Amino acid sequence: MAGVPLTNLTPNLLVSKLCFGTMTFGEQNSLSQSFNLLDKAFDSGINFFDSAEMYPVPQRAETQGQSEEYFGRWLRERNIPRDHVVFATKVSGPSGQMTWIRGGPTRLDSRNITEAIDNSLLRSQTDYIDLYQVHWPDRYVPMFGEIDYDPARQFNSVSFDEQLDALGRAVDAGKIRYIGVSNETPYGVMKFLQAAEKNPTYPRIVSIQNSYNLLCRNFDSGLAECCHLESVRLLAYSPLAMGVLSGKYLLSHGGADDARLNLFKGRYSEGESRYNLSNPTIRDATKAYISIAERYGIHPVSLAIAFVLRHPLVSSAIFGATKLWQLEEVVNACDVKLTPEIIAHIDEIHSRFPNPCS
């Protein structure tokens, strides 16, 4: 194995093609387990680590912020040079549920963004954040399994200018280096870019973190054109469709008890709504993709990761792992190259089951 390759997220920022997501730290993974996983990832050539102020998941007041805290402790206790890693984290958008985060939060206004950045820096105990992302929009958009847009659900949102102004002041202060968005739409991407074009004091978004995998290729319908023409890179999260594409949930026993969708059954609405294997279309599509892996002697994890990494707009695939052997499976996928014949089989299945997950 040659190790995880690097690529340019921006002309001045090299990131590994795999990004290790930390959202299990503090819930499924203890501090020592998290350190072991981070050690293995770093030793494998991964320099890119993603977190969020609301992590770990499922989110709750007692554990909020521990993912950032664990990562920061690892940096300090392992004496990792700060410029050897790329640290990304996110500010939570409006939420009526997470009342323990700034009372809601109800808005992504200047105060909330500034407070969130400062709190993330305190928890991680680092001087700066390499990539700071808006976790989800400060406006109504269908997300996390929703498909149809309902105009009646639109609410009074914070302007793109106010958000960029707050982020720009954090860049000027040296608190963050680059900014990105997550769970965004073509409209949102273009509005952020247009605002930055009109006001040169605003930072320009460099990335979008959206779901992309064999079961969910919605990025290619609209967003891909925006990102290609405007030089915005995709950070693809859920490349394994929350573990579904590994095939573990199709086993006769339904997967291990500590597998995420089993462990948090009834408490993890995003996973259960998006990747619900009781939906026959999702189940049949998953079986079909796994049959391709079996036909060509490829591990299902390698097939899924290699498919995401071959996308020309993907800078990095963001994955999670709670065990060392899971991390190794994902890292090994970097050595897999999909042939035109395999891609033809993938596209045939996609034509039969187009984006069963949103």
Rounded CA-CA distance 220/350 in Å is: 13
Residues forming a β-bridge with 129: 176
Residues forming a β-bridge with 16: 6
The pairing of beta strand 205-211 with beta strand 314-319: unpaired
Catalytic residue among 55, 70, 202, 289: 55
Rounded CA-CA distance 352/29 in Å is: 38
- CB-count burial class (<10 Å; 0-12, 13-18, 19+) for 39: middle
Rounded CA-CA distance 72/75 in Å is: 5
User: DSSP 3-state assignment of 122?
Assistant: helix
Residues forming a β-bridge with 176: 129
Tokens of 165: 């102004």
Q: In the chain, what is the straight-line distance between the N-terminal and C-terminal CA atoms, in Å?
A: 33
The pairing of beta strand 86-91 with beta strand 129-134: parallel
Is cis: bond before 137, omega within 30 of 0? no
Tokens of 145: 């399994």
Residues 321-332: b if buried by 16+ CB within 10 A, e if exposed = bbeeebbebbbe
**Catalytic residue at 70?**
no
Active site members: 55
